[in-house]
Structure 1
Amino acid sequence: MTPFSTTTTTTTTFLLLLILLPLHFAATAVSPAANAKSPTISPPSSTPSSSSSSSSTLDPKQIKALESLYIPTTHDPCTQPFHNATTCDTATPFRHLLSLRLTNCSDDFSLSTTALSSLSTLTSLTFSDCHTPIVHFPSSLSINLRSFTSINSLQHLSGVFLSRFTNLTELTISGDTIKASGIHIITSNLKSLTTLTLSNTNLSGLIPRTSWNPKLTHLDLSNNKLNGTIPTSLTLLESLNFLNLSSNQLNGEIPSSFGDLVFLKNLSLSSNSLSGPIPKSISIISRLAHLDLSSNSLNGTIPVSISEMKGLMYLNLEKNNFHGVMPFSASFIKKLVVFKVNGNENLCYNHSSISKKMKLGIAQCDKHGLPISPPPAVEDDTGSSDGGGDYDENDDSSDNGKKKNGDDDGGGPNKVVLGVAIGLSAVVFLIIFLVVLSKCGCRCC
């Protein structure tokens, strides 16, 4: 080989290296970037639910319990509650349920003792429109619960079953029948209750005179079959702000010591068989906003002191046996959102202070304070009133009735006609008398 060819070969090799080396380094530099983008175009995981459940912070046993109750566990119930139906503690490594609310359950819903055993950390448990028979609650759960609610849900409830929740502070049963011989079976063991609702549960018997927590603030025993009298022991519950005993079979008088319930805001004793007067002490309850004593056999006069209750917004005294003059002014009635006093046949209102337009459903009073028969019904040109109209001195209903019938003292059309007829009769009689007299005179002549 000649020196020239050797030189040419060396030059060619060098040129090839100059060309290939940059290409090699460029390919090496591009390769990591290409590898970094490759996961974004890979297909997503096909089992998100299983990975979500496995990464949940909730105790796995409680996850299985929720699944057996047909509660979705795709998302962590602690961080993403199912319709705000769950709350959890902050324990590690696993959190635990503190509250659970089951609403509008499916037809497949059913309770099991096994599931409830896994949920023994609950302090609050609510069923709403979940129709299912009750099952045995493990003692660990019964003792731990502080709030228990069943609304149109659990079947075959009993007083003995509810009495096992010894540490409850709130108990609400509404629309579910409770088999028990009386309320005392439930309340005798629940010494910490501050809120008790046993409404429309078919309970009968007497209202307990004892076994009430002095700190009770809410008591609703409405729509049952309770009988007997209202025990005065209820008026010792000084913290009570809500009391509903309506739609029962209670009788006797309202305790005169009701005024001791100074924090009471809502009092409903309607639809019973209570008798006697309204205790004057009720007007002392300055916070009272709702007072319903309707559909009883209460009698006597209505205490005028009720009109001094500045916080009162709802007053229903209809369908009783009250008598005398209703002591309320038009301004007091207008202040109320609801006012009902009809259905008291012996009760009347003073027409000098209250307008007929207020449509109270009771008669006017005469000068002796007794009801007078209302005038014949006349179509009101102004239309029906909502009861808020002020009294108009020119709108005396009795005077208007007389004027429309032509019987007022000023002389109506009927009296004018009668006067003219009498006058004409007198003139005719006088003419006849004169004619007869003249004829007799002529004969004598």
Structure 2
Amino acid sequence: MEPSQPIPLLLLLILLFFPSIIISSSSPPLPQTPSPSPKTSPSSSKPSPSPKPSPSSKPSSPSPTSSPLPSPKASTSPSSPSSSSSSSSPLDPKQLRALESLNIPTSKNPCSPTPLHNTTTCDNSKPFRHIISLRLSNCSSCPHRISGVSLSHLSNLTDLSLSNVQIKASGPYVILAHMNKLKTLTISNANLTGFLPKHVHSNLTHIDLSGNQLKGSIPPSITMLDSLETLNLSSNGFKGEIPSSIGDLISLKNLSLASNSFSGSIPDSISAIPELIHMDLSSNKLNGTIPKFISEMKSLKYLNLANNNFRGVVPFNSSFMKRLQVIKVGGNSDLCYNHTILSSKLKLGIAPCDKYGMPMSPPPSKDSSSSEDDRSDDDYDDDDDTSHKKGHHHGPNKVVLGVAIALSSIVFLIVFLILCSKCCR
């Protein structure tokens, strides 16, 4: 029996190494430990102080409108007038009297900004400086109602923002008549009454008159503003049809006409606005079918057509729906979607269509549809979730590890018994 001893030893080595080979082949590679970063000198580790923002750059609180619209960019003067301390020119006496008549709390020199008084910005003109920006929002120390006539004396304004303050004026025209340089206009939640002016200045790039009591229709002068990027007339009493000339606003990016009484159909000319991102026409009396050209608007990300009187089949395909970040079409009782094209998982708040293009079942109520209509790109992440689940299979399989450990234990037991039997002989 002595010559046959190397064979069990060789068998022992093979059986001992075989499970470890299985385990090592199925185990994941160890992550590399990052090399220690070089130590920085004490002088370089000190954070540099962040520059303090100037008071004039303090953003105003957004007006509570029916849809989220980007805030207008604060108009700036080329020479940064509010931060210039070298100019010693006084404020124009007429404009100073206008400020005093408004009873707006300002410093003794409104053109010298301080952290407590940042409502005004002035230019550096001589012999008198002029106010070019007036921004008031939730002003608790302002008078009960600000005079529109006194505001009109600030004729050099390029930026006027009044939010959640009460204004006494018979209409926007009283305020805007002499503001030929105005670029951004925000008068929201100010209890402003009257009609839109028939003539507006062509420099305007931002108009927000939401949350007031304005009435009438949209005048043609509004649609002649080639540089207008934002038009927000939501939550007013406007009526009539949306003018077909609205397609002439070629620079428009944000359009909100929600919560009014507009009627008729969506004009085809809207398709000519190349960079329209946000369109909210909800809570009106619009009717007819939803035009198919909307699905061809490449820049559109937000679309709200809820709570109108639209009928027929939603003409959108799945690729257009994926491109949108928000879509709301609920609250249109005669509107339905083609279930062979659009998935029911989208939760549009409307019923699927039957073979005649009519809703198959009663749609949800308007109250519940608003909550179901909110949708983001997460609704289309099914593929991503699937791939994410597939990616969870990292490292060795638990079954393989269990089998390898069991085999190694059995082999060790057999070898141990063989050695014991040889030693006992």
TM range (shorter): 0.5 to 0.7
Give the length in aligned residue pairs.
276
Shift of 1:244: 0.2
- Hey, what does 2:253 align to over in structure 1? 265
Q: Mapping of 1:3-402 within 5 angstroms?
A: 84-85=54-55, 87-89=82-84, 91=86, 111=105, 115-116=107-108, 118-119=109-110, 126-127=118-119, 144-153=130-139, 154-155=142-143, 156-210=145-199, 212-373=200-361, 387-388=379-380
Structure 1 residues 200 and 375, CA, compared in 2 at 3 Å: closer, same or farther?
Answer: closer
Q: Does structure 2 retain, via aligned residues, the 8 Å contact 1:242–1:267?
A: yes
Higher relative contact order (CA 8 A, sep 6+): 2
Shift of 1:278: 0.5
Shift of 1:111: 3.4
Structure 1 residues 88 and 390, CA, compared in 2 at 3 Å: closer, same or farther?
Answer: closer
Q: Say which SS state the counterpart of residue 232 (structure 1) adopts.
A: coil
Shift of 1:374: 6.1
Structure 1 spans left out of the alignment, 5+ residues = 1-79, 98-108, 129-139, 377-383, 392-445
Shift of 1:81: 9.6
Q: Distance in 2 between matches of 1:182 and 1:319?
A: 29
Q: Deviations over 1:347-403 (max 9, x none)?
A: 111111111222111111122212122699xxxxxxx99643789xxxxxxxxxxxx
Q: Deviations over 1:291-320 (max 9, x none)?
A: 000011100111100100111010000000
Q: Distance in 1 between matches of 2:363 and 2:294?
A: 30
Shift of 1:245: 0.2
Q: Does structure 1 retain, via aligned residues, the 8 Å contact 2:172–2:192?
A: yes
- Larger Cα-atom Rg: 1
Shift of 1:186: 0.3
Shift of 1:89: 2.1
Shift of 1:121: 6.9
Q: Deviations over 1:125-168 (max 9, x none)?
A: 7439xxxxxxxxxxx99970111111111223110111010111
Letter in 2 for 1:146: I
Structure 2 spans left out of the alignment, 5+ residues = 1-49, 57-81, 92-102, 121-125, 365-374, 384-425
Structure 1 residues 82 and 357, CA, compared in 2 at 3 Å: closer, same or farther?
Answer: closer
Structure 1 residues 264 and 190, CA, compared in 2 at 3 Å: closer, same or farther?
Answer: same
| TM-score between the two structures when normalised by the length of structure 1 | 0.57
Q: Does structure 2 retain, via aligned residues, the 8 Å contact 1:360–1:387?
A: no
Structure 1 residues 95 and 181, CA, compared in 2 at 3 Å: closer, same or farther?
Answer: closer
Q: Deviations over 1:188-233 (max 9, x none)?
A: 11111111100010001111111x1112100000000001111121
Q: Does structure 2 retain, via aligned residues, the 8 Å contact 1:355–1:390?
A: no
Q: Deviations over 1:90-135 (max 9, x none)?
A: 528x7999xxxxxxxxxxx9837xx53x44577xx7439xxxxxxx
- The two structures, once aligned, show a CA RMSD in angstroms of 3.3
Q: Does structure 2 retain, via aligned residues, the 8 Å contact 1:143–1:167?
A: no
Q: Does structure 2 retain, via aligned residues, the 8 Å contact 1:300–1:322?
A: yes
Letter in 1 for 2:218: I
Q: Distance in 2 between matches of 1:95 and 1:144?
A: 10
Q: Say which SS state the counterpart of residue 215 (structure 1) adopts.
A: coil
Letter in 2 for 1:148: L
Q: Deviations over 1:71-97 (max 9, x none)?
A: xxxxxxxxx9986327532528x7999
Structure 1 residues 96 and 82, CA, compared in 2 at 3 Å: closer, same or farther?
Answer: farther
Structure 1 residues 200 and 373, CA, compared in 2 at 3 Å: closer, same or farther?
Answer: same
Q: Does structure 1 retain, via aligned residues, the 8 Å contact 2:351–2:363?
A: no
- Hey, what does 1:61 align to over in structure 2? none
Q: Distance in 2 between matches of 1:375 and 1:198?
A: 37
Letter in 1 for 2:84: D
Structure 1 residues 275 and 126, CA, compared in 2 at 3 Å: closer, same or farther?
Answer: farther
Letter in 2 for 1:91: S
Q: Distance in 1 between matches of 2:257 and 2:181?
A: 25
Q: Does structure 2 retain, via aligned residues, the 8 Å contact 1:330–1:390?
A: no
Q: Mapping of 1:421-436 within 5 angstroms?
A: none
Q: Say which SS state the counterpart of residue 182 (structure 2) adopts.
A: coil
Q: Does structure 2 retain, via aligned residues, the 8 Å contact 1:291–1:315?
A: yes
